[in-house]
């Protein structure tokens, strides 16, 4: 008795025990769902020991978390009326009272730096003593702010557009935890909504903590949408093909358990749910349904042939089990190659995806035959779909093309390859942090607003190491820093920088009685006077505390960057680095650029390189499986051509449509390749069986294999096409691109496997139609009954 015959016997005789094990495993994994965590930071695409990460960690050690600002802004001039103006400042006070907030700064909190000649020190005096009661008083405050306090320009107001801001500094200890979400949804958003409603004013909200929170919530909302849509769409297509509520219900039961297992494994491994991880549950549905199609279709074919239920179920397991196992292994391999990348995000995605693909195969192989064993035989009406004329028409057309128009198939293939190569050269790489965020959401529109008004929201940090304590406050160092500031201000993609220079310039302005024209660096003599005043001062501006470390050795220049891709970022980085190298010689200073924006952009380039390696590994791994199954180099080449061809077309389309290479889109190739090669395995497995049955005659073997496997390949490809198309309803640009591109690739793969592959087999018949070329496989893909021609 063969291995698969023993497996089928075990499944059918131990069905109660197996169902108990499945129920126990499902209960256990469902209990692990409570440990699922949602990501509260951007995905770090770089390994922990990467130099860029090491520099960023060093920055965090010196200055703490930099992405802890939530910024509120109002563009409405009606704010400058007593009631609205006072309530705007009360809103800041209210936010300041929450434990999740470190402190807030609004116009009402501004304290002017004032020279005290008697004590030879600087004092802090409020911008105004009491709440303004008249519009004239508010306008006087506005005039003082806009004309005499350049220190706060581009921070609490924009001189050009007259936008007013409030800055909320969240507690650095909770900014990357679940407490941030509670604050945003339970405290911040309700307060802002009430203020907007009471005063009929639009408040813009941004800052990395807020963007992360809203984005994470969007991911959570979409998981349910994807799972529901994937179940609905695949169930409808399945029912359309099989016209059986029973078969549809069994399939939905299998994939629903698969979804529970997928969530359970994420919880069991204690992984975070990112945009990528959120795709796995619906992915399992889309990949699981084709397994059910092959198994149920085979069961119904067997029932129609001889009407013996036990024999039918045994043959389903023994005949389809092996081939389906190999196709699932190749699909899992496409995902498993991500495990070998150095990116934690991709590694986790690869582990969970590959485990669950094998799990959904096991579930389908166990549950479908067992449930059918308890049910009566399918009725005649449920088997009618096996004789559908429109399917026969499609198969006949494919056979006609392969038989009479092979030259046209090759010519079309060559033309598409040439066009695709041109498109590939047009592809760009994108590393935008917010490009894939939902553009229809208000928080994305607010990001665009802040970019236009204040020059960006993504922090870019420059660290200057003077190599000596108190080296930052040397006038020579400050002047060098000013040169860097000037370069930053010349770059339109960057906002005005903030650093210790601002407080030094403000100190000189205060020394000269607050006259705005003195908002500049002091000379050497002025510096000594100002420092003596500063030393006598007990006041401190909390805002600037963290721009020089406690030893006075390290200075920090912060600017905010617009949403730009890796190409522009590289140009900006090179320009800044040249200026830093010129102003800060390496023998006296060390300078580094870091910040979340830079880490993400560097991570994108790193990830793209890793994914190219991943795709190459997937192709090699699947070629190995082909060699393992067919033991023929020529068959490996013939099997890979129809699967690499669709990848070239997709890459070409990306170039023509302007879809850039980024983490979300480059996944397409490994995923699509791992899935599309399944059709090749099914076709070649049947083809090899037909070769033996037809005494190594190629033509009848190819046509028989095409007719036998064409229907199932068509069914599964349609399910996969519409299943992945579900992702295009996402509000995330990357998910839309992923769904659309995988769908298109799989459609091309189906056509390629049903037209190009048979055409290649027929054209190369003399070199592959012999027993030496197609040696006995190491692993029997088909049972002895199949090889004897039992169809």
567 and 532 within one domain: yes
- 554: β partners: 465
Q: Contact at 8 Å (CB) between 357 and 289?
A: no
634 and 774 within one domain: yes
633 and 570 within one domain: no
The boundaries of the domain holding residue 665 are 3-42+213-425+600-787
Q: Which of 568, 599, 630 is the C-terminal boundary of a domain?
A: 599
Structure-block tokens of residue 757: 């592959």
Rounded Cα gap, residues 487 and 475, in angstroms: 19
Q: How much is the pLDDT for 330? A: 79
759 and 625 within one domain: yes
Could you tell me which residues come within 8 angstroms of residue 129 by beta carbon, excluding any fewer than 6 positions away? none
CA distances from 226 to 32, 727, 731 (A): 21, 7, 11
Rounded Cα gap, residues 706 and 755, in angstroms: 9
Q: Is 476 exposed, middle or buried (0-12, 13-18, 19+ CB in 10 A)?
A: exposed
| Order of strands, sheet of 69-74, starting from the edge strand that comes earlier in the sequence | 101-105, 164-170, 69-74, 203-206
Q: Is residue 570 part of a domain?
A: yes
- 204: β partners: 73
Rounded Cα gap, residues 346 and 282, in angstroms: 18
| High-pLDDT (> 90) share of the chain, % | 22
Could you tell me which residues come within 8 angstroms of residue 688 by beta carbon, excluding any fewer than 6 positions away? 630, 774, 777, 781, 782
Q: How much is the pLDDT for 791? A: 39
Say which DSSP state 157 is in: B
Q: Which residue has the higher pLDDT, 742 or 543?
A: 742
pLDDT at 240 over 90: no
pLDDT at 290 over 80: yes
Q: Contact at 8 Å (CB) between 765 and 251?
A: no
Could you tell me which residues come within 8 angstroms of residue 87 by beta carbon, excluding any fewer than 6 positions away? 195, 198, 199
**Mean model confidence pLDDT for the chain:** 83
781 and 673 within one domain: yes
Q: How much is the pLDDT for 174? A: 83
229 and 203 within one domain: no
Q: Which of 553, 583, 599 is the C-terminal boundary of a domain?
A: 599
Q: Is residue 389 part of a domain?
A: yes
Tally of CB atoms within 10 A around 160: 9
Q: Which residue has the tokens 């420059």?
A: 462
263 and 155 within one domain: no
Structure-block tokens of residue 533: 């005043």
- 157: β partners: 153, 164
Structure-block tokens of residue 704: 């028989």
Rounded Cα gap, residues 128 and 9, in angstroms: 87
3-state secondary structure of 138: helix
Q: Which of 572, 599, 626 is the C-terminal boundary of a domain?
A: 599
pLDDT at 433 over 90: no
Q: At what angle do helices 82-96 and 135-148 cross, to 10 degrees?
A: 60
Helix or strand (DSSP H, E) at 498: none
pLDDT at 143 over 60: yes
pLDDT at 256 over 80: yes
CA distances from 320 to 2, 4, 316, 708 (A): 14, 10, 5, 13
Helix or strand (DSSP H, E) at 499: none
Could you tell me which residues come within 8 angstroms of residue 371 by beta carbon, excluding any fewer than 6 positions away? 250, 253
Q: Which residue has the higher pLDDT, 390 or 414?
A: 414
499 and 355 within one domain: no
Total residue count of the chain as it appears in this document: 791
Q: Contact at 8 Å (CB) between 706 and 402?
A: yes
3-state secondary structure of 465: strand
Alpha helices of 631-764 — where are they, by DSSP H? 633-657, 663-693, 698-725, 733-751, 757-763
Task: pLDDT band for 682, please (50, 70, 90 cuts).
Answer: confident
Nearest to 718 by CA among 234, 244, 277: 234
**Distance between the two ends of the chain, CA-based, in angstroms?**
20
The CATH number for 616's domain is 1.20.1640.10
577 and 466 within one domain: yes
Rounded Cα gap, residues 254 and 273, in angstroms: 23
- Tally of domains in the chain: 2
Write the pLDDT tens digit of every residue in 521-550. 988 888 878 877 777 665 544 445 678 887
Q: Is residue 74 part of a domain?
A: yes
Rounded Cα gap, residues 477 and 482, in angstroms: 9
3-state secondary structure of 51: helix
Q: How much is the pLDDT for 423? A: 92
Q: Is residue 477 part of a domain?
A: yes
pLDDT at 779 over 70: no
Q: Contact at 8 Å (CB) between 648 and 419?
A: no
Rounded Cα gap, residues 668 and 681, in angstroms: 20
Write the pLDDT tens digit of every residue in 546-603. 788 878 899 999 998 887 767 778 888 899 999 999 999 988 999 999 987 788 778 7
Q: How much is the pLDDT for 189? A: 93
Rounded Cα gap, residues 746 and 659, in angstroms: 18
Write the pLDDT tens digit of every residue in 319-353. 777 778 878 887 888 788 888 877 777 888 889 99
Q: How much is the pLDDT for 387? A: 62
401 and 464 within one domain: no
pLDDT at 784 over 50: no
Q: What are phi and psi of 661, to 5 degrees?
A: -75, 125
Q: Is residue 49 part of a domain?
A: no
Q: Contact at 8 Å (CB) between 44 and 599?
A: yes
Q: Is residue 327 part of a domain?
A: yes
165 and 121 within one domain: yes
Q: Is residue 177 part of a domain?
A: yes
Q: Contact at 8 Å (CB) between 127 and 110?
A: yes
614 and 528 within one domain: no
Q: pTM for this structure?
A: 0.77
Q: Is residue 455 part of a domain?
A: yes
Write the pLDDT tens digit of every residue in 185-228. 999 999 999 999 999 999 999 888 888 888 888 878 888 888 88
């Amino acid at each position: 008795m063969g291995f698969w015959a023993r497996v089928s016997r075990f499944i059918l005789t131990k069905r109660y025990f197996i169902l108990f094990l499945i129920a126990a495993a499902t209960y256990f994994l469902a209990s692990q769902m409570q440990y699922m965590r949602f990501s509260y930071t951007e995905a770090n695409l770089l390994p922990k020991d990467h130099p860029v990460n090491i520099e960023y960690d060093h920055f965090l050690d010196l200055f703490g978390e930099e992405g802890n600002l939530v910024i509120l802004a109002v563009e409405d001039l009606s704010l400058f009326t007593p009631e609205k103006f006072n309530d705007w400042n009360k809103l800041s006070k209210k936010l300041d009272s929450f434990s999740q907030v470190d402190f807030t700064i609004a116009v009402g909190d501004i304290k002017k730096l004032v020279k005290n000649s008697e004590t030879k020190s600087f004092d802090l005096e409020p911008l105004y003593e009491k709440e303004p009661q008249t519009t004239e008083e508010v306008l006087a405050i506005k005039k003082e702010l806009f004309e005499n306090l350049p220190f706060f320009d581009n921070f609490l107001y924009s001189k050009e557009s007259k936008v007013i801001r409030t800055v909320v500094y969240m507690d650095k200890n909770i900014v990357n935890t679940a407490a941030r979400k509670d604050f945003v949804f339970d405290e911040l958003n309700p307060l802002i909504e009430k203020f907007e409603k009471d005063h009929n004013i639009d408040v813009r909200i941004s800052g990395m903590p807020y963007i992360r929170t809203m984005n994470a919530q969007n991911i959570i909302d979409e998981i349910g949408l994807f799972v529901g849509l994937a179940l609905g769409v695949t169930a409808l297509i399945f029912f359309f093909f099989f016209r059986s509520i029973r078969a549809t219900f069994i399939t939905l039961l299998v994939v629903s358990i698969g979804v529970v297992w997928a969530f359970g494994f994420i919880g069991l491994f204690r992984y975070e749910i990112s945009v990528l991880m959120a795709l796995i549950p619906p992915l399992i549905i889309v990949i699981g349904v084709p397994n059910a199609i092959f198994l149920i279709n085979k069961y119904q074919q067997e029932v129609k042939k001889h009407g013996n239920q036990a024999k039918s179920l045994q043959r389903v397991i023994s005949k389809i089990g092996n081939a389906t196992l190999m196709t699932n292994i190749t699909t899992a391999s496409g995902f498993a190659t991500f495990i070998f990348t150095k990116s934690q995000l991709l590694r986790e995605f690869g582990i969970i995806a590959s485990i669950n693909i094998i799990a959904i195969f096991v579930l389908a192989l166990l549950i479908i035959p067992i449930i059918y064993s308890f049910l009566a035989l399918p009725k005649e009406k449920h088997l009618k779909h096996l004789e559908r004329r429109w399917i026969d028409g499609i198969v006949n057309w494919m056979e006609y093309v392969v038989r009479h128009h092979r030259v046209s198939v090759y010519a079309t293939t060559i033309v598409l390859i040439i066009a695709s190569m041109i498109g590939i050269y047009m592809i760009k790489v994108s590393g935008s942090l917010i490009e894939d965020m939902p553009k229809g959401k208000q928080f994305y529109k607010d990001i665009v607003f802040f970019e236009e008004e204040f020059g960006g929201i993504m922090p870019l940090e420059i660290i200057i190491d003077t190599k000596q304590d108190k080296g930052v406050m040397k006038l020579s160092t400050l002047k060098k820093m000013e040169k860097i500031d000037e370069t930053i201000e010349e770059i339109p993609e960057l906002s005005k920088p903030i650093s210790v220079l601002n407080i030094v310039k403000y100190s000189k302005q205060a020394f000269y009685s607050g006259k705005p024209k003195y908002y500049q660096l002091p000379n050497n003599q002025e510096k000594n006077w100002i420092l003596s005043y500063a030393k006598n001062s007990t006041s401190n501006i909390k805002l600037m505390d963290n721009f020089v470390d406690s030893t006075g050795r390290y200075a920090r220049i912060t600017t905010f960057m617009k949403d730009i891709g890796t190409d522009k970022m590289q140009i900006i980085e090179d320009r800044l680095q040249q200026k830093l190298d010129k102003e800060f010689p390496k023998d006296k200073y060390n300078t580094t650029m870091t910040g979340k924006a830079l880490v993400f952009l560097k991570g994108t380039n790193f990830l793209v390189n890793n994914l190219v390696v991943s795709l190459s590994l997937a192709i090699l791994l699947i070629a190995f499986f082909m060699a393992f199954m067919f033991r023929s180099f020529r068959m490996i080449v013939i099997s890979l051509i129809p699967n690499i061809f669709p990848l070239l077309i997709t890459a070409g389309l990306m170039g023509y449509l302007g879809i850039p290479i980024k983490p979300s889109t480059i996944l397409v190739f490994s995923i699509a390749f791992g899935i599309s090669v399944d059709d090749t395995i099914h076709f070649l497995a049947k083809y090899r069986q037909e070769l033996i049955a037809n005494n190594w005659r190629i033509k009848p073997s190819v046509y028989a294999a095409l007719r036998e496997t064409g229907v199932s390949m068509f069914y599964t490809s349609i399910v996969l096409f519409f299943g992945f198309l579900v992702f295009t309803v996402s509000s995330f640009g990357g998910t839309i691109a992923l769904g659309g591109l995988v769908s298109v690739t799989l459609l091309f793969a189906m056509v390629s496997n049903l037209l190009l592959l048979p055409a290649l087999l027929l054209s190369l018949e003399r070199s592959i139609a012999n027993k030496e070329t197609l040696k006995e496989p190491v692993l029997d893909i088909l049972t002895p009954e199949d090889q004897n021609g039992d169809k």
